Structure 1
């Protein structure tokens, strides 16, 4: 059954298969498979990696897109991956021995999956030292305090924007920043 948004015609089911892949950006290349092959052969190692953990499919796709566009526009050499819920994030670390510099963790996941606070506690219990930045639609509440207490490095209010998360990402080189600031892109 197609999960198509009637207002936009966006086919969520078609996007899901691609979304679960590791998405990479390195030196203006959007060749994900080729980037992964070069990575395995020891070429062009990524200096920084990001994991986005978000349950809501539409929001996850939107956030993934804007983050990848920012990474590519600034040529940051960042590896990017998504997880649909907290348990997938924990499994990536415990079972798959993955490691990320930055984990963006959604608090607002349904109780039938591992929530943001539960996943954060589990990751910290596994010894994960990554910067974990939570985000939530809650503005000020006991839930936010509990989320922060679960082991977060910081917490942001939804909606996520690149302006909000840019602080946690690597900075473009000064030359690249000047080119981007002038509205030009590097060839």
Structure 2
């Protein structure tokens, strides 16, 4: 069922949806820093659709730190083409502001292809109108950037249990 996550302030802060795991994951060092790593029963993979390279880099980094195989594209058209070519993803993040085909239209086209993946709408300044448009397009949840680990961990756990 489609839903928005928490209040605007909760979405902005990333609180209100759980926190970092205490069990079921392991902390492993990566290079010189300790980064949270999760151990999943299944292989999780995600597609990030975001034309802002910095945001895309951050989103991919967070997902990869949690052991999620991640691909990224910069346009809605590229996302639709990738999925049409047979690529499958457990989780798809779509920014609302994309060139040519915006986030809601991208989500609508992906859903029209029969894709059942969890789709998350992203915006740097999420309004009620943005949420409504995304949810009407078939997005499962909407969050305000930045993507946070406090929000992501429960979603990944849920996906891992559904596969």
TM (norm. structure 2) is: 0.66
User: C-alpha displacement at 1:107, in angstroms?
Assistant: 0.9
Bigger RCO (CA 8 Å, 6+ sep): 2
Question: 1:65 corresponds to which residue?
Answer: 61
Count of aligned pairs between the two proteins: 121
Q: Deviations over 1:115-142 (max 9, x none)?
A: 1111100001111111101111233332
Query: Where in structure 2 are the equivalents of 1:88-167 lying within 5 Å?
Result: 88-94=78-84, 96-110=85-99, 113-167=100-154
In the other structure, the counterpart of 2:5 is none
More strand per residue: 2
Q: Distance in 1 between matches of 2:73 and 2:157?
A: 21
Q: Please provide the CA RMSD for this pair.
A: 2.4
Q: Is the 8 A contact 1:90 1:119 kept in 2?
A: yes
The CA distance in 2 between the partners of 1:139 and 1:103, in whole Å, is: 18
Regions of 4+ moved over 6 Å? none
Q: Structure 2 CA distance, aligned partners of 1:161 and 1:109? A: 21
Give the alignment of 1:3-82 within 5 angstroms.
Answer: 47-71=43-67, 78-82=68-72
Asked if structure 2 preserves the Cα contact closer than 8 Å seen for 1:138 and 1:144, the reply is: no
Deviation at 1:89, TM superposition (A): 0.9
The CA deviation at 1:85 is 1.6
Please list every run of 5 or more consecutive structure 2 residues that lacks an aligned counterpart in the other structure: 1-27, 31-41
Please report the TM-score for the alignment, with normalisation by the length of structure 1: 0.58
Task: Indicate the SS of the match to 1:170.
Answer: helix
Provide closer, same or farther for how the CA distance between residues 131 and 150 of structure 1 changes in structure 2, counting only shifts above 3 A. same
SS at structure 1 position matched to 2:114: coil
Q: Whole-Å Cα distance in 2 between the matches of residues 147 and 166 of structure 1?
A: 22
